[in-house]
Amino acid sequence: MSRMFCFQCQEAAKNIGCTVRGVCGKTEDVSNLQDLLIFALKGLSVYALKAREAGVSAKEADRRVIEGLFATITNANFDRRYFIDAIRGAIAERESLKKALGGSMATLSDDERDAATWTFREEAQLDKKAADVGFLVERDEDIRSLKALILFGLKGMAAYTEHAEVLGFSDPKIHTFIQKALAATLSTRLSAEDLVALTLETGEYGVAAMSLLDRANTTTYGHPQITKVNIGVRKNPGILISGHDLKDLEELLEQTQGTGVDVYTHGEMLPAQYYPAFKKYDHFAGNYGSAWWKQDKEFESFNGPILMTTNCLVPPKDSYKDRVTVTGVVGFPGLKSIPAREPGKKKDFSALIAQAKTCKPPKEIETGEIVGGFAHETVFALADQVIAAIKEGHIKKFVVMAGCDGRMKSREYYTEFAEKLPKDTVILTAGCAKYRYNKLPLGTIGQIPRVLDAGQCNDSYSLALIALKLKEAFGFESINQLPIVYNIAWYEQKAVIVLLALLYLGVKNIHLGPTLPAFLSPGVTNVLVEKFGISGITDADADLKAFL
C-alpha cells in the first residue's frame, strides 16, 4: 500500500505529518482515498466551471464538491466505503457534465487533463493512483504549503456552505469560487505570489460563507439569546447530539417531543441552546460533557444513544459503539447511519428514540450552569454598557480565544491563560476551544460576563462583526486600533477558514496555538509574519505579559 501523508490538523504526528496511521485514528487506506477524492473533485470542478459558463446546470457537482470536501475534514469520516462511492460519484458526474458539453476535451490544459479524465475499473487501482496525487508530489515546499493552506481553507468553507444549504440558503458565487480554487491547485504554473493572492481570496469567500450561514441560522432559528445552560442531568433516558448541524437537532427535537426521552447537546452543539426556536422544547435538557476529545468517557457515561451530525468523531470504543449513530457526511465502519433527507421529507430518528427508551438515564458527571448566547445581536444590544465599561476603564482588553479544543496536553495553556487574565479583561469565544475555560468562575464586569460565548466555530463571524461595530463606535480607522488581543486555538480545517477570514478582514497580530500548522513552510510562515504579524504562543505567564 502506498504510504499515507496527512498534515491537515494540529495533531499531525511530530508536527510534520501522519505517515502510518493518523493520530486521529484515520487509517492509511482512508487517508489515501481522501487524497484521491480531492483529486476527483478537482477534475469535477474543471467541468463544473465549464458547464456554468455554457449555461449548463452544475447543481449536482456543487453538492458533490462541498460534501466531498466536508467528509475529508479531520474526524468526520473514517469509512473506506464512503470515499470509494464518493470518488465514483464525482467521476460519474464529471462524465455527465462532459457529455452535456458535447464530450469535448479540447479545452483542457495539460495540468487539468489527468484529474479531468482519470477513471478506474477496479478498486485495487485506487491505492496506486493515490500515490500520484497526494501533497508530497509537489516538490517545492512553499507551493505545497500554499496549496495546502488553500485546500484546507476550502474544506472549512465547504462545511459552512453545506450547513447553510441544508437550511435552504445558497450562494452560487461560493460554489464557483470553491471550484475555481480547487481547479487552480492543479496548476503547475502558479507562482507563490499567485497562490498568496488566492489564499486571501479564499479568506474573502470564507467571510461570505460564514455570513451566509449566520443568515441561514438566525433567519431559521432566530438570534441567539443570553441563556443559562444546565450541565447536570435529569431522570429520563436521553439522546446526546453532537457536531454542528442544527437542522438535525431541529428534527430530533420534534420527533422526541412527548416520548419521555430528553435531548442533550454535546461539544459544538452546545450553542444550539441559545436559539429561541429550540427553547420551546421542555425536553431539551441541557449540555452533557465538554469538547470532542473527551467523548470516549462522556459517551460511555451518557448511557443513551448518541447522534454525531458532523465532526469531531473519535473512533468509538466497543463498550458504547452500539449506541453511536452517524448522519450527514459522518462515517465510521460498523456504526448505524441515518440516511440523508429525501426531498421534502425529514430524517427518521425513530430507531434512535426506540433505543433510548431501552437505556438508563445519563450518569451525572457535573452540575451547574454555563452562560452563552453572546452572538452579534445580543452584544449589539449591550453595546452601550460595553462601550461605557471600556471608557470608564472597567474593561481594559478583550481577548478573542476562539477556535478548537484538542487532546494535546499543551492545551492546558488555555485554561491557565484564561485563569490568569486580569479581572478587567473579557474573553470573546466561539468554537469548542471554550471548554478549556467556560466552567471556570471568572465572574462578571458589572452585568457583563467575563466569557462571552458567541457560539460554534462558524460564529467567529459574530466576533468579527462585534469588532467592526466597536471600531465604528470609537471612530477608529482600523479594527487593529481596538483593545482586542487574538489568542486563537486551532485544530481542524474549519479553524483554517476562520483564520483566513480574519486575515481578509484585516485583523493583525493573531497568536495561533498550541502549535503553528505543520503545513506552513518556513517561507509561508514568514509571509504570514510579515504581512499579518501572525505568531505562535509560548507559556501563559510570558504571553500574558507580552499580549497585554
47 vs 78, beta carbon nearer ligand SF3: 78
Partner in contact with 11, chosen from ligand SF4, ligand SF3, none, beta carbon below 5 to 8 Å by kind: ligand SF4
How deeply is 416 buried, as exposed, middle or buried, from its count of CB atoms within 10 A (0-12, 13-18, 19+)?
middle
Give the shortest CB-349-to-ligand SF3 separation in angstroms: 21
* SS3 of residue 405 by DSSP: coil
Choosing from 284, 292, 299, 504, the residue that interacts with ligand SF3 (CB under 6 A) is: 292
Partners of 453 in the beta sheet?
429
Q: Which stretch binds ligand SF3 (CB under 6 A): 123-131, 163-171, 442-450, 492-500?
A: 492-500
Q: Which residue among 3, 11, 71, 385 contacts ligand SF4 (CB under 6 A)?
A: 11
Q: List the x/- string, 70-109, binding to ligand SF4 by CB under 6 A.
A: ----x-----------------------------------
Pattern of binders to ligand SF3 over 366-405, x per CB under 6 A? --------------------------------------x-
By CB under 6 A, what part of segment 41-80 binds ligand SF3? 75
- In order of 302, 345, 535, the CA distances from 487 in angstroms are 32, 43, 10
> In degrees, to the nearest 5, what angle opens at C-alpha 484 toward C-alphas 493 and 381?
95
Q: How many CB atoms lie within 10 A of CB 351?
A: 12
Orientation of helix 383-391 relative to helix 460-474, angle to 10°: 60
How far apart CA 486 and CA 496 sit, in angstroms, is 15
**Among all residues, whose Cβ is closest to ligand SF4?**
22
State in angstroms the smallest separation of the CB of 260 from ligand SF3: 29
The answer to the question of residue 311 lying near ligand SF3 (CB under 6 A) is yes
Distance, in Å, from the CA atom of 208 to the CA atom of 201, rounded to the nearest integer, reads: 11
456 contributes a contact to ligand SF3 by CB under 6 A: yes
d(CA 262, CA 370): 19
What's the sign of the alpha-carbon dihedral 306, 308, 309, 311?
positive
Beta carbon nearer to ligand SF3, 24 or 233? 24
Exposure pattern of 208-229 as b/e (b: 16+ CB <10 Å)?
Answer: bbbbbbbebbbebbebbbbbeb
Q: Which of 67, 459, 492, 543 binds ligand SF3 (CB under 6 A)?
A: 492
Residue 311: contacted member of ligand SF3, ligand SF4, none (CB under 5 to 8 Å, by partner type): ligand SF3
22 near ligand SF4 (CB under 6 A): yes
Stretch that binds ligand SF4, among 23-31, 296-304, 333-341, 399-407 (CB under 6 A): 23-31
Q: Does 156 contact ligand SF3 by CB under 6 A?
A: no
Q: What residues between 31 and 60 interact with ligand SF4 by CB under 6 A?
A: 31
Alpha helices by DSSP H, listed for 101-191, are 110-117, 124-133, 141-166, 172-184
CA–CA distance, 243 with 241 (Å, rounded to integer):
7
Find residue 171's DSSP bridge partners.
Answer: none
Pattern 227-266, ligand SF3, x by CB under 6 A: -----------------x----------------------
Q: Which is nearer to ligand SF4, 11 or 543 (CB)?
A: 11
CB closer to ligand SF4, 93 vs 492: 492
Burial of 261 (0-12, 13-18, 19+ CB in 10 A): buried
Strand partners, 241: 265, 307
Interface residues with ligand SF3 (CB under 6 A) are 75, 244, 267-268, 292, 311-312, 404, 431-432, 456-457, 491-492, 494-495
Interface residues with ligand SF4 (CB under 6 A) are 6-9, 11-12, 18, 22-24, 26, 31, 74
